[in-house]
Amino acid sequence: MKNTFDRVGAAEFLGISVTTLDRIVKKGEITYIPVSQRRIVFRPEDLQSYLDKRAQEAKN
């Protein structure tokens, strides 16, 4: 898929480990696109939305 990140790329974008990303995904806190049973990808706008949401929560 064009303009998407795999788990490693998404973790780098967010500045977190892949393990932490997996935990966030499991909690349903971030939007992803399932490509197959074992592979998911992330859109840049969904990653940025997650960061924006976390920043807003930190302000409150």
Residue 2 maps to a domain = no
Residue 42 maps to a domain = yes
Q: Is the separation of the CB atoms in 9 and 21 below 8 Å?
A: no
Residue 23 maps to a domain = yes
The pLDDT value recorded for residue 18 is 98
For 2-48, write each residue's pLDDT tens digit. Answer: 799 999 999 999 999 999 999 999 999 999 999 999 999 999 999 99
Domain containing 22 equals 7-59
How far apart are alpha carbons 57 and 3 in whole angstroms? 27
The pLDDT value recorded for residue 59 is 84
This prediction has a pTM of 0.88
Say how many domains are in the chain: 1
Residue 1 maps to a domain = no
- Evaluate if residue 60 carries a pLDDT over 80: no
Residue 37 maps to a domain = yes
Q: Is the separation of the CB atoms in 14 and 50 below 8 Å?
A: yes
